[in-house]
């Protein structure tokens, strides 16, 4: 068979490429906001949930990223939302360390902070990194030092009574006799977390603690942001996928946006949000693009400790994606968790069921 392609094949290929390009260039006729489910749960005493607040601000003409951050700030400042910001579940030493990343599609700029302490709204510090530095990521004490000089209030402790109580319960379970050898300590910590999940003291949705939100306006400007308190009772200094470009958050203003919640280490390994956007660049619908990322995570999970007896992952990961049409989707690793994601458009704020790649639940 000849290696040369026929004229018909060439024309078909060219048409396909043109369609893909048209997918990238076309613009939505409406504003849309999507986020993880907690974006439609908390109001912190105000009139609107996070996705509703973001949509409200976009509709009155605010910059898309500013609107997203106003929505995220509702959760970051809500002491009852223990997966982000103030009152987020602390690390193994009882200290709340926060991560965040912002990306502005039209400006093609980004900023992030990781393991920052004392600032209730790390997403706003991430924006300040984007706007006032030549860097994408500041971490730890350096991030706090920067925030202080940008005028942010530095709190002595971001724990609430609730988050401190959870940490004390976890500590009591893992360290009744003080020091354990490292292997036993890690095993004890994992067992304590699972027991607290089973008893309902921790929510599995909050266990990895994150909100991602992306949004687009009627002119096609698309942005995204992620903010989190990270894995419950993590090793101090641990940073997951949330503040890392291409992992917990990725935006290409000509293509679309994607972000994630769930096991950050699994997402980091494959830079899965970047992968989802690249699949959309090739013309895939957001749901199909997410499915490819989830399949990649499943294939890359080979360590026995991370696998159920049937060979599937013991953890969940969820993605939220949108292309420049305003088409969007959410999808989880597991359908049995009855996953949902939050949406707000002209029809108002609501929670939408999303499919899972696999049946059942993690850690069954």
What is the model's pLDDT at position 2? 40
C-alpha torsion 235→238→242→245, nearest 10: -170
CATH of the domain at 46: 3.60.20.30
In the chain, how many domains are there? 1
Active site residues: 187
- Reference 277, options 293, 261, 299; nearest CA is 293
What is the model's pLDDT at position 194? 65
CA angle 2, 3, 5 (to 5 degrees): 95
pTM of the model: 0.85
For residues 330 and 9, give the distance between their C-alpha atoms in angstroms, rounded to a whole number.
35
Which helix (DSSP H) or strand (DSSP E) does residue 321 occupy?
strand 317-323
> Residue 84 falls within a domain, yes or no?
yes
> Residue 186 falls within a domain, yes or no?
no
**Cβ(122)–Cβ(227) under 8 Å?**
yes
Residues in the chain predicted with pLDDT less than 50, given as ranges, are 1-25, 177-181, 206-208
Q: How far does Cα 342 stand from its chain's mean position?
A: 13
> Residue 213 falls within a domain, yes or no?
yes
pLDDT in tens, 239-269: 999 999 999 999 999 999 999 999 999 999 9
In DSSP terms, 178 is beta-bridged to: none
What is the model's pLDDT at position 180? 43
> Residue 259 falls within a domain, yes or no?
yes
The side-by-side arrangement of strands in the sheet containing 340-345 is 137-139, 109-116, 98-104, 222-228, 210-216, 32-36, 340-345, 348-353
C-alpha torsion 243→247→249→251, nearest 10: 130
Helix residue ranges per DSSP H, 282-359: 286-300
> In which domain, by residue range, is 139 found?
27-161+200-358
The side-by-side arrangement of strands in the sheet containing 317-323 is 249-252, 256-262, 317-323, 328-334, 355-358
CA distances from 171 to 74, 167, 183, 196 (A): 29, 6, 16, 12
For residues 39 and 37, give the distance between their C-alpha atoms in angstroms, rounded to a whole number.
5
């Amino acid at each position: 068979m000849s290696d040369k392609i026929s004229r018909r094949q060439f024309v078909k290929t060219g048409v396909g490429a043109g369609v893909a390009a048209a997918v990238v260039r076309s613009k939505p006729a409406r504003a849309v906001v999507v986020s993880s489910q907690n974006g439609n749960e908390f109001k912190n005493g105000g009139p609107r949930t996070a996705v509703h607040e973001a949509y409200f601000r976009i509709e009155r003409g605010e910059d898309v990223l500013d609107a997203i951050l106003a929505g995220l700030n509702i959760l970051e400042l809500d002491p009852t939302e223990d997966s982000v910001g103030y009152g987020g579940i602390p690390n193994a030493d009882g200290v709340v360390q926060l991560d965040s990343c912002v990306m502005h599609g039209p400006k093609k700029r980004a900023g992030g902070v990781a393991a920052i302490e004392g600032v209730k709204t790390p997403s706003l510090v991430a924006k300040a990194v984007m706007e006032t530095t030549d860097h994408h990521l500041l971490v730890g004490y350096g991030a706090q030092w920067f925030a202080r000089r940008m005028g942010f209030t530095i709190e002595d402790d971001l724990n609430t009574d609730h988050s401190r109580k959870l940490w004390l319960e976890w500590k009591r379970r893992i360290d009744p006799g003080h020091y354990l050898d490292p292997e036993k300590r890690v095993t004890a910590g994992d067992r304590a977390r699972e027991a607290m999940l089973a008893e309902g003291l921790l929510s599995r949705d909050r266990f990895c603690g994150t909100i991602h939100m992306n949004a687009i306006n009627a002119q096609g400007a698309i942005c995204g942001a992620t903010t989190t308190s990270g894995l419950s009772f993590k090793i101090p200094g641990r940073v997951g996928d949330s503040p890392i470009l291409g992992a917990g958050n990725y935006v290409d203003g000509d293509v679309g946006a994607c972000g994630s919640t769930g096991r950050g280490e699994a997402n980091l390994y494959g830079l899965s949000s970047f992968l989802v956007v690249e699949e959309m660049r090739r013309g895939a619908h957001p749901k199909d693009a997410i499915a490819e990322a989830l399949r990649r995570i499943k294939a890359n999970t080979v360590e026995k400790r991370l696998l159920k007896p049937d060979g599937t992952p013991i953890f969940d990961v969820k993605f939220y994606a949108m292309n420049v049409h305003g088409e969007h989707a959410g999808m989880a690793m597991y359908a049995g968790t009855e996953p949902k994601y939050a949406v707000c458009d002209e029809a108002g704020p609501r929670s939408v069921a999303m499919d899972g790649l696999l049946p059942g639940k993690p850690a069954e």
